[in-house]
Amino acid sequence: MKLDATKMKDWEIAEASEENMKPFADLARNLGLEASELIPMGKRLGKVDYNQTMARIKARPRGKYIDVTAITPTPLGEGKTTTSMGLVQGLGKIGKRVVGAIRQPSGGPTFNIKGSAAGGGLAQCIPMTEFSLGLTGDIDAITNAHNLAMVALTARMQHEHNYDDARLAKSNLKRLDIDPERVEMKWIMDFCAQSLRNIRIGRGGKMDGFEMDSGFAITVSSEIMAILAVSKNLKDLRERMGKIVVAYDKKGKEVTTADLEVDGAMTAWMVNAVNPNLLQTIEGQPVFVHAGPFANIAIGQSSIMADQLATRLADYTVTESGFGAEIGFEKFWNLKCRFSGLEPNAVVLVATIRALKMHGGGPTVRPGIPLDETYTKENLGLLEKGCCNLISHIETIKKSGVMPVVCINSFYTDTKNEIAMVRKVAEANGALCALSEHWLKGGDGAVELAEAVVEACKEENKFKFLYELSTPLSKRIELITKVVYGGDGVTYTDEAKEKLDMYEADPQAGELGTCMVKTHLSLSHDPNLKGAPQGWQLPISDILVYKGAGFLVPVSGAIKLMPGTCSDPAFRRIDVDVDTAKVKGLF
């Protein structure tokens, strides 16, 4: 069947492609994996035993390592995952041994406004249904492990409230004296459920729990997801699991999962989840899918374990960071690479001409409203203004010491003059540039991009972090704000300033990385400010501690850890063909 991206929906292309998928065993064998290292989950996909495989291949030299990031997102879309899959396919077309390493999508966006994160057109990760709907259960495992910690915490609070010390001693429990006003964790679920952000639990009698304020966050914002992303192996994950701070006692001392004696049981939920999932592109190249996703409220990276496997199994590994370069790439640069010891050989910066026009002041884009002709007709003035956003992200990548490759993710409405303008801007600012038509043509359409990436990988990089771990937290936040976001400075609420002072006085906290929480819709904290806004300060409203993952989390503005479901969610169009049991309508 001939695949035509202009006439077929993404799920239809995926379904047609799946008829010719490589069997999981063949895909793994072609990658150089042994049968004993595979954990099949049906015929079409499975997991790779990380410990066993790494023990065999850890002495191998590492291949080239490429990160894919993007300009600041707009409702028009930039296509990072589509580009990642297109680049994997393009590298395959020019004869390179290549592996992709991307994040698992969250059920929240899949059933909400964004849809799946499998890519699009003729550049996708398949099988799309399994990829989009839970895969092999990693997110479920994280949900259960996290909520088990909340069960342990709330049960302990109930028993300590109802029992005296003698009664507690009979159960071999020591009073932790948890402060109900300083509970750091919430419950989690993998949907966008704004009505659960703030709730009251434990209502009823004394047998119904400890009554207090609580709430829900989305699963992918859980510290356990971050731990899965940054852990080096199961042993490392187990050690990190016991360091999670769930609350503070009434004297201000941390209460951890180890204090609750629940860290071992939490790890038991994660034993299978530590093994990366192996899928494929629609052209048959291998793709590891493991950990993720959101970079605006979490680390936004696929796992270090997947990257460690991929870089030893292939000559080129293509991974991806969430949202724009000031968020996703900044965390890849200063967190993921610091934890993994891997350094990128090139960074692909995805841009679309339509999105750059919006950053130049183009009309607001809303779902369900016809696209303004500004975005489909040549407008060099608007495009030139919007290129300030592209330049900002190029400069961010260059500050890491790595060669940026601007990918113009092509749309059929792009004109030659518009493409030429973006090329000129990219090259004038020290980046390579390539036009890519992977959405329309698959790997054949990404050959120019693949060749540009190969060329960039020949450059001698001088990779360096933005800050050292000895840098005080306040200085780190200021550096990220000024150097990466382009702001003038930082302000703190009283609560955030109190936490800042506490963490800066704690020698252990000084060794933690910095994982910023910020809107993805602007370089600033204000989603309405497009382009490269000037003359603003970043407001820090809170600072969370993720000691298990190994970082502090400054929260800017009023961003929520539980997104909301929109008025026209994707789930309205998803259904099942009852005759074939195939899911339709995913996008």
Residues 6+ apart with CB under 8 A from 420: none
Cα separation, 446 vs 440, whole angstroms? 10
Which has the closest alpha carbon to 191: 265, 106, 116? 106
DSSP state, residue 158: H
**Contacts (Cβ under 8 Å, ≥6 apart) of 522:** 72, 528, 529, 530, 533
What token pair was written down for 543? 């600072």
The answer to whether the CB of 254 falls within 8 A of the CB of 69 is: no
CB atoms within 10 A of CB 529: 16
Check if the beta carbon of residue 523 is closer than 8 Å to that of residue 533: yes
Phi and psi (nearest 5°) for 347? -130, 125
What's at 14, amino acid-wise?
A
Give the Cα separation of 335 and 330 in Å (integer). 8
Residue appearing with tokens 């990089």: 461
Catalytic residues: 80, 82, 103, 114, 295, 323, 411, 439
| Structure-token match 């207090």, residue found | 212
The CA R_g of the chain, rounded to the nearest whole Å, is: 24
CB 79 within 8 A of CB 264: no
Is beta strand 216-218 parallel, antiparallel or unpaired with respect to 277-281? unpaired
> 82: which residues sit within 8 A by CB, 6+ positions away?
119, 120, 121, 123, 124, 409, 438, 439
Task: Tell me how far CA of residue 64 lies from CA of 61, 279, 318, 344, 490, in angstroms.
Answer: 10, 20, 9, 7, 37
- Separation CA 12–CA 111 (nearest Å): 18
* CB neighbour class for 170 (10 Å; exposed up to 12, middle 13-18, buried from 19): exposed
Structure tokens at 298: 């979490």
| Measured distance CA(333)–CA(67) in Å, rounded | 10
What CA–CA distance (Å, rounded) separates 430 from 432? 7
Asked if the bond preceding 293 is cis, omega within 30° of 0, the reply is yes
Contact in structure between 216 and 196 (CB atoms under 8 Å): yes
Q: What contacts 311, CB < 8 A, 6 or more positions away?
A: 62, 63, 65, 317, 342
Q: In this structure, what token pair is assigned to residue 231?
A: 């852990």
User: For residue 552, which of 542, 541, 560, 562 has the smallest C-alpha distance?
Assistant: 542
CA distance 178 to 162: 13
